[in-house]
């Protein structure tokens, strides 16, 4: 478990569960389960105050009840029973269901039968696992699909930056970069976040890379000038 108690981590788990409920309401079972898996994994490794831990367990139990009564979930997996306050068993079960969902999505992707949103979610799952070449191959020349993926990661990165979670922001922007290495705007975002981390050298490297791709990138040149004026080492 994490050694330090950081209450924001409990809040992050709560927000993830909230997103799971939205996906479930929309009938997007794969995104719902993938988020639930993430929430359970974080719950197991996060050290919390007793009150926060009790609240998170109750939220998990409540969400499991919603899953068991969801028609979208039952249509996909049939009747399933979760047990309260058994995070470890629930996680093992959800991991199995995510694996089954991924296999089904992969078959649908191959046959061109899946919706654009689910195709994007499957591709992002591959990116999350580091399978960048496979993700790029699935995107191919589909600009709409690429834009959906990039928008999702960029939005997550920008929100993480606003929340002060710079490391998570960098992770999200780098996921976007994995499928769009020639996108100067992503490199610009990475430069900005490294400025906020006072990592001037890395910030300059990212913005110079952006300017190699697009020498006419006015905002990029302005940011480079700013970095050079403020960099101390």
Give the domain ranges of the chain: 1-111, 115-178, 182-233
* Structural contact between residues 154 and 193, judged by C-beta atoms closer than 8 angstroms: no
Residue 91, token pair as written in the block: 């996680």
The parts of the chain modelled with pLDDT lower than 50 are 1-2, 113
Over the stretch 137-162, which tens digit does the pLDDT of each residue have?
878 888 888 888 898 888 888 888 88
The answer to whether residues 139 and 145 touch, using CB atoms and an 8 Å cutoff, is yes
pLDDT the model gives residue 62: 95
Q: Please provide the distance, in angstroms rounded to a whole number, between the alpha carbons at the two ends of the chain.
A: 36
**pTM value?**
0.55
- What integer pLDDT is reported at residue 1 of this predicted model? 47
User: 60 with 117: CB under 8 angstroms?
Assistant: no
């Amino acid at each position: 478990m994490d050694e330090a108690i950081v209450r924001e981590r409990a809040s992050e788990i709560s927000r993830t569960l909230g997103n799971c409920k939205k996906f479930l309401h929309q009938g997007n079972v794969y995104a719902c389960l993938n988020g639930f898996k993430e929430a359970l994994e974080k719950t197991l490794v996060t050290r919390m105050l007793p009150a926060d831990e009790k609240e998170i367990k109750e939220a998990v139990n409540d969400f499991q009840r919603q899953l068991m009564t969801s028609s979208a979930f039952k249509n996909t997996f049939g009747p399933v029973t979760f047990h309260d306050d058994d995070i470890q068993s629930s996680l093992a079960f959800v991991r199995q269901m995510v694996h089954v969902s991924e296999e089904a999505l992969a078959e649908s992707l191959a046959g061109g039968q899946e919706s654009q949103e689910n195709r994007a979610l499957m591709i992002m799952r591959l990116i999350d696992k580091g399978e960048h070449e496979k993700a790029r191959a699935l995107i191919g020349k589909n600009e709409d699909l690429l834009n959906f993926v990039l928008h999702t990661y960029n939005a997550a990165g920008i929100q993480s930056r606003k929340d002060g979670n710079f490391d998570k922001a960098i992770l999200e922007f780098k996921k976007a970069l994995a499928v769009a290495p020639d996108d100067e705007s992503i490199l610009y975002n990475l430069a900005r976040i490294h400025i906020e981390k006072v990592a001037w050298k890395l910030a300059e490297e990212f913005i110079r890379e952006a300017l190699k791709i697009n020498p006419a990138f006015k905002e990029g040149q302005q940011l480079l000038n700013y970095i050079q004026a403020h960099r101390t080492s």
